[in-house]
Chains A and B, each alone.
Chain A
Amino acid sequence: MYDLMVRARVLEERMIQVYRRGDAFFWIGGPGEEAFGVALGLQVLKGKGPKYDFLHLHYRCTPTLLAMGMKEEDALRLIMNKATDVSTGGRNFANHYCYPEWNVAPVSSPIGIQYSVAIGTALSQKRNKSKGVSIITGGDAGSAEGDFASGLIWSSRPGSELPMYITIQNNKWGISTDYDSQHGEKHVSDRGKPFGIRAKVHDGNDPIAAYLAIKEDLAYIRKTGKPAISEFKVSRLYGHSSASGANRVANEDCCLENFEKKLHKMKVLTAADFKQIREKHFENIRVLTDQIREEPAPSGDSIWDHTYANNENADWRNF
């Protein structure tokens, strides 16, 4: 778990560097959320189709996908808009992944859509009597969207409850707007309570606590077929995106440093181990970055590709 958290952090920090060096137009991600993200990714029932979990992730999901088995190359190709980018072919921003073979739905730039879309995958899982869960991640600010309410209402219809795991990574920010100035509710997850949805709040900066909370929630949903909502209090270490500078924020709690202190105290790993693990990932990702920089860009004449399925013509000039 620690190794994955370090990989995710080093990768995100490298992606910020990629942006700063001019090899990418934009960076957006979630360094600081590795404890929650890795804990989630390690527990996904991974596969394709309604028998498995569906993931409706937001744009801070690199740790989750690394824990599921994603390669660093995928993240780097995506941020550098390479033709080799498996998620979008150079068409979309960093952290906007999709993996149909793992039921990872496309990450949406419009905030909150994932709560409504997850209703459909959960419905399919329910009809197929699957143990699969439709897992949604989102931020605290995004919970103000109507789609968040849609997720609560549709997942809790009496007799038609859906296996939806609604998670909120509450970093107390929506770009530059602070949580306390916009939210009257004490906890976002409290909004599940009037619908009879099991609702909890967790320390999302503690990987062990997050792992156990997710384990318990997923077991409950798989057993009952009913939704659950969990709010994870997390940190935002580099701001929202490159648009806000992507500089390290000094006063935020760091889940990785906290975990290192704990592992050190428990004599699981030493300071030398921490250094060696970080350097190993740093070097691997540095080499990959240099390789991928040379990979081909998408060609301009590919713009019509995949507008319709099977590449049916969608250009009116050719109707």
Chain B
Amino acid sequence: MANMAQAIRLALHYAETNLDLKEVFGQDVGAPLGGVFTATQGVKTAWNTPLDERGIIGTAMGLALAGDRCVAEIQFCDYIFNTIDMLKFAGNTLWSTNGNYPMPMTVMTPVGAGIRGSIYHSHSFDAWATRLPGWKVVMPSNPLEAYGLLLSAIKDPNPVLFLKPKALMRVKGEELIPGEPSDEKELRTMIDAPLGDRTKWKPKWPKLEEFTVPIGKARVVKEGTDMTLVTYGRHVLVAKEALEKMGGQYSVEVIDLRSLYPYDWQAIKESVLKTKRVLFLNEDTEVTNFGEHLAYRVNTELFYNIYAPAKVLAGKNLPGIGLHPNLEENSVPQTDDVVHAIQDLMAQEP
């Protein structure tokens, strides 16, 4: 099965071949590296830019104004902060021009901890991203949905932030991407660049098919009746680990939000009305966290239907993620933290 980096590559290839994707660009995105996580390796339209995040976002905006589809990459979300006013401008362009200028552009950037990335390769951006009205914000938790969400992002007439959970970039999927060879060694031989000299290397792409994940739709990862756990990105996997560790102590329904904005309130509501308890889990810092908005909504709109207040488990409100594992693991939610949060929530009685 393809890993997430390969899935993103496959999606970009499909889009440049079938969806009129014109440009894929960013720092180290083109040959010979093909991105620091190799997610753009071999992509025909991928090229290297100057080390200039504002130039990268501005270029994407200009291409969108000209009517061209593009995917721009900021190498790590830790370095996207100096573009925040441009992201705001991209998000409000259609609105502030009263519908004159759509801004169809996709920006992808790796987010989150989990690779011992120290202070400036571990930031999250989901809470910031959801405060950029006009943007759509998505984050996949597996390769197949990375493929499907990225194609949806490229096709969307609005600006879309495609947040890549960097800790999952080498995690293989459990389902084949349509057209992906079933033998993963064959896939590697076809689309992974060789070590050493790559000047004459060209990928041999499989015959891919279109597969999209609709933006705004969540997925129930696991059904349950005792409580609901809403998460996204790598914490879908952390949640599953926590439940395995608990050995079936509680029946927990896990929802992978996939799309942070617009978000699938109907899926959350339906599940919470069934289970009466909900935990929102993510790794961005906990103060003005996106999960707080969801918890607020549950606590106000579903107050008379729940057995316990909606709870948020998120990263601690620290200036950064320290490099040493003891520091990182005490900063962002780990498996045991999820176990404890579930047990605390289940212990509460109305």
Contacts and interface: CB of A to CB of B under 8 A. Distances in A.
A49 to B, nearest CB: 7
A106 B97 contact: yes
A242 interface: no
B263 A116 contact: no
Question: For chain A, which range describes its interface: under 10, 10 to 19, 20 to 34, or 35 or more residues?
Answer: 35 or more
Interface string B14-45: 00000000110000000000000000000000
A308 B58 contact: no
A35 interface: no
Contacts of A88: 96-98
Nearest to B55: A150
A288 to B, nearest CB: 21
B89 A110 contact: yes
Interface in B88-123: 89, 93-102, 104
Q: Which of A116, A121, A309 has the most CB of B within 10 A?
A: A116
A306 interface: yes
A176 interface: no
A119 B62 contact: yes
B158 A305 contact: no
A153 B61 contact: no
A100 B59 contact: no
Given A116-B58, A117-B62, A150-B58, A319 B96 contact: no
Interface stretch (A1-9, A20-28, A122-130, A202-210): A122-130
A289 to B, nearest CB: 21
A291 B89 CA distance: 33
Given A54-B66, A127-B22, A154-B52, A309 B94 contact: yes
A299 B70 CA distance: 35
Nearest to B263: A319
A254 interface: no
A241 interface: no
B184 interface: no
Interface in B201-242: 216
A203 to B, nearest CB: 31
Nearest to A154: B55
A116 B54 contact: yes
B192 interface: no
A79 to B, nearest CB: 15
Contacts of A277: none
B272 to A, nearest CB: 14
Q: Which of A110, A306, A312, A314 has the most CB of B within 10 A?
A: A306
B49 to A, nearest CB: 8
A12 B250 CA distance: 70
A105 interface: yes
B59 A120 contact: yes
Contacts of B98: 85-91, 305-306
Interface string A294-319: 00000000000111111011101001
A53 B33 CA distance: 35
A307 B62 contact: no
B96 A122 contact: no
B286 interface: no
Contacts of B104: 309
Interface string A140-165: 00000011001001100100000000
Nearest to A128: B66
Q: Which of B59, B101, B104, B134 has the most CB of A within 10 A?
A: B59
A120 to B, nearest CB: 2
B301 to A, nearest CB: 9
B59 A314 contact: no
B63 to A, nearest CB: 4
12 contacts: A91-B95, A105-B62, A108-B89, A113-B58, A117-B61, A117-B65, A120-B59, A120-B68, A121-B65, A306-B99, A308-B134, A316-B293
Given A117-B58, A306-B99, 5 more contacts: A91-B95, A121-B63, A123-B23, A308-B136, A309-B94
Interface of B: 22-23, 49-50, 52, 54-55, 57-68, 70, 82, 85-86, 89, 93-102, 104, 133-134, 136, 157-158, 216, 261-266, 293, 297
Interface of A: 49-50, 54, 85-92, 96, 98-100, 105-106, 108, 110, 113, 115-125, 127, 134, 146-147, 150, 153-154, 157, 305-310, 312-314, 316, 319
